[in-house]
Structure 1
Amino acid sequence: CSLFFIIGIGTQMVLSPEIERLLLIVVFLPNVVMAWKFGWQGGVLSGLLGSMMITIARQVGVGFSNLVELEIFLATQALLGIGLGIAISRQQHLAQNLHHYRQRLEAELAARRALAEKLIHTEEDTRKSLARELHDEIGQNITAIQIQSQLVKRARDPAQTQAAASQINDLARRIHHSTRQLLRQLRPPALDELSFKEALHHLLNEFAFAERGIRCRFDYRLTATPESETVRFTLYRLLQELLNNVCKHADASEVAIALYQQGTLLRLEVKDNGIGISPDKMAGFGIQGMRERVSALGGELTLESQRGTRVIVNLPTNLQQTAG
């Protein structure tokens, strides 16, 4: 920076007055360089140094014999340095923000691609499981019914006919039971047949906590049923999976459930006094899958595992908010 000033002043000492003023551009160059490199701070510093060097040069009789001309030049130089510095600082700040937003966008896109791939694999696994159940349970039982029906046609003994009919009836019951189980896996019928609150109470009754020696408290504080069917279904499935973990792994004697609205969020809390979950075992409890499901809806799932396990799920009341 000082080198530019020294060159400019030294040149003025040896060149004719007719062209020496053109070399004042050399004095402005440090403003541009310093402003570009250090922003408005560099512009201010360059202006101060330039003013100092020009003042010293005037004292030794080099250029700017006119005081008014000197003042105008110093003011122009200072304003130029500060203006350039502010403009460049703003540009650099905008560039940094743009880079930051681009990184966030790339990370978000990568996460969404990974989630989409996982959803595709999950859907395919569900189809395979459904096909296997249909083949193993329903398909084989239908084949057995066909065999028994042929025996009925050929049977002449009433006792043999009665036995075949009884077998057919038993197989039909198995098919009915398997079908209901498959339908429950695809969609809980309670969500269609009962209110949302009643469906959740029905779910709790299915776990038979009293028979397991577990005291269960359910605090339902929603004043209105969630409008989104996706939210209702997700809350039902999450509660089902969390309570399944409590029954299978927690070794708990108490479980407390709370569902309420906090601002624009629906909050589901499930807390037990069991043995907790160590971080290396979370995959086996389906925590990551639940977290991804909640995240896909714009929500958040947090887990605390001290003195038992506490899971908190926050979901937006209106899924359209997640699109903004």
Structure 2
Amino acid sequence: MSTHLFTHFIPSTPLQAAMHFFEYKSGDVTGLLPLLGIWSFIFVLILLLYKIESYKKKEFLLLNRIHEQQELELNIQEAERRRIAADLHDEIGSSLAAIRINLQSLHYSSAHDEQRATTLLELVDQTSQNVRRATHNLIPPHFETTPFTSILQSYFSSLDSRNTIAFHYYCNAYQRHFTTRQELLLYRIVMELTHNIIRHAKASEATIQVLFCPTYLEIMVEDNGIGFSTATHQGIGLISVHTRVRSLGGNIHTDSGRCGTTIIIHIPVSCEHAC
């Protein structure tokens, strides 16, 4: 069959395009290099964007899992605190009350025995106060109806009468920016930092400020103690503080040295509460 008869059965435009391509290919191929380079760049760019997007999705899912795990751990901690507080109040508190009643009902044969019983009653009363204080720290009373700042005020007022460290507590006008659960977390943060000062700082003075701002809450805790290494010191208490701060979407900055420690925490206020 002749070439003329063969081309008669093939559409002219595709045939011309194919003939043009092979003619071009048999000629100067270097003219295609810029085009190939552009398409290669576009392909690599698309692949890179896909990889970045995939990485972001995986990171988002991982952060969500971490956040959910932290929420679960905090909920477990609060449930355990409530259980321990109930045990302290119901069992130990009741037992101490029963001991006190029995001691008061005894008849003593000598003044010495009566004096010993009086000493025991004082010890029982002191132990009862310690149990009530521990229960208060585990589950603050009336937390659902009382602002956490007022509970902190009561706590620091009681510290002044029984502690060698002079605590100065300041709070500006209270604003209901947070839910009850969030305020409980804030309360735990301040309490943990305060307990760290009492246990480890060897300070003579400390200042705790809770400042409500339009878009965030600032908690500043300062002491004039011995300080600690922020790079190596990661006790359970500070880890718990960092976990709670992250759970609230906040950030924490620590500056510690031989002249004392300053910890500043910023907790954002959600739009629904800020408006």
**TM-score of the pair, normalised by structure 1:** 0.57
After superposition, give the CA deviation of every residue in 1:144-163 in whole Å (9 maximum; x if it has no partner).
799x6xxx9xxxxx959xx9
Aligned to 1:111, the other structure's residue is in SS state helix
Partner in structure 2 of residue 49 of structure 1: none
After superposition, give the CA deviation of every residue in 1:226-276 in whole Å (9 maximum; x if it has no partner).
353234333322222212222221112332222224451111011112111
Please say if residues 231 and 315 of structure 1, whose CA atoms lie closer than 8 Å, have aligned partners that are also in contact. no
Pairing 1:224–2:223 present: no
Partner Cα separation in structure 1 for residue 21 and residue 270 of structure 2? 67
Partner Cα separation in structure 1 for residue 186 and residue 17 of structure 2? 84
Aligned to 1:305, the other structure's residue is in SS state strand
User: What is the Cα deviation at residue 283 of structure 1?
Assistant: 0.9
Partner in structure 2 of residue 107 of structure 1: 62
Aligned ranges 1:236-275 → 2 under 5 Å = 236-275=187-226
Change (3 A) 1:127 1:247: closer
Change (3 A) 1:191 1:138: closer
Please say if residues 88 and 135 of structure 2, whose CA atoms lie closer than 8 Å, have aligned partners that are also in contact. no
Please say if residues 222 and 261 of structure 1, whose CA atoms lie closer than 8 Å, have aligned partners that are also in contact. yes
Change (3 A) 1:252 1:192: same
Partner Cα separation in structure 2 for residue 245 and residue 224 of structure 1? 27
Please say if residues 220 and 262 of structure 2, whose CA atoms lie closer than 8 Å, have aligned partners that are also in contact. yes
Pairing 1:317–2:269 present: yes
Partner in structure 1 of residue 233 of structure 2: 281
Change (3 A) 1:249 1:108: same
Partner in structure 2 of residue 188 of structure 1: 140
Partner in structure 2 of residue 61 of structure 1: none
Aligned to 2:52, the other structure's residue is in SS state helix
Aligned to 2:164, the other structure's residue is in SS state coil
* Residue of structure 2 aligned with 1:92, choices 31, 47, 66: 47
Change (3 A) 1:319 1:179: farther
Change (3 A) 1:174 1:299: same
The unaligned stretches of length 5 or more in structure 2 are 1-15, 109-113
Partner Cα separation in structure 1 for residue 147 and residue 17 of structure 2? 94
CA radius of gyration, larger in: 1
Amino acid at match of 1:270: V
Partner Cα separation in structure 2 for residue 33 and residue 18 of structure 1? 18
Partner Cα separation in structure 1 for residue 126 and residue 204 of structure 2? 35
Change (3 A) 1:25 1:94: farther
Partner in structure 2 of residue 118 of structure 1: 73
Partner in structure 1 of residue 13 of structure 2: none
Aligned ranges 1:296-307 → 2 under 5 Å = 296-306=247-257, 307=259
* Residue of structure 1 aligned with 2:37, choices 9, 34, 39: 34
Partner Cα separation in structure 2 for residue 30 and residue 225 of structure 1? 66
Please say if residues 268 and 314 of structure 1, whose CA atoms lie closer than 8 Å, have aligned partners that are also in contact. yes
Seq. identity, %:
19
* Residue of structure 2 aligned with 1:208, choices 133, 154, 160: 160
Q: Which structure ranks higher in relative contact order (CA pairs < 8 Å, sequence separation ≥ 6)?
A: 2
Change (3 A) 1:176 1:24: farther
Change (3 A) 1:254 1:25: farther
Partner Cα separation in structure 2 for residue 207 and residue 233 of structure 1? 20
Please say if residues 96 and 128 of structure 2, whose CA atoms lie closer than 8 Å, have aligned partners that are also in contact. no
Amino acid at match of 2:22: L
Change (3 A) 1:108 1:239: same
Aligned to 2:263, the other structure's residue is in SS state strand
Q: Which runs of 4 or more aligned residues in structure 1 lie more than 6 Å from their structure 2 counterparts after TM superposition?
A: 142-146, 172-176
User: What is the Cα deviation at residue 207 of structure 1?
Assistant: 1.5
Partner Cα separation in structure 2 for residue 130 and residue 198 of structure 1? 21
Partner Cα separation in structure 1 for residue 143 and residue 242 of structure 2? 22
Q: Give the count of matched residue pairs.
A: 240
User: What is the Cα deviation at residue 136 of structure 1?
Assistant: 5.7
Change (3 A) 1:201 1:116: closer
Change (3 A) 1:312 1:184: same
Partner Cα separation in structure 2 for residue 288 and residue 303 of structure 1? 13
Please say if residues 219 and 266 of structure 2, whose CA atoms lie closer than 8 Å, have aligned partners that are also in contact. yes
Aligned ranges 1:136-147 → 2 under 5 Å = 137-138=92-93, 140=95
Structure with the largest fraction of helix: 1
Please say if residues 246 and 272 of structure 1, whose CA atoms lie closer than 8 Å, have aligned partners that are also in contact. yes
Structure 1 vs Structure 2 CA RMSD: 4.4
User: What is the Cα deviation at residue 119 of structure 1?
Assistant: 3.2
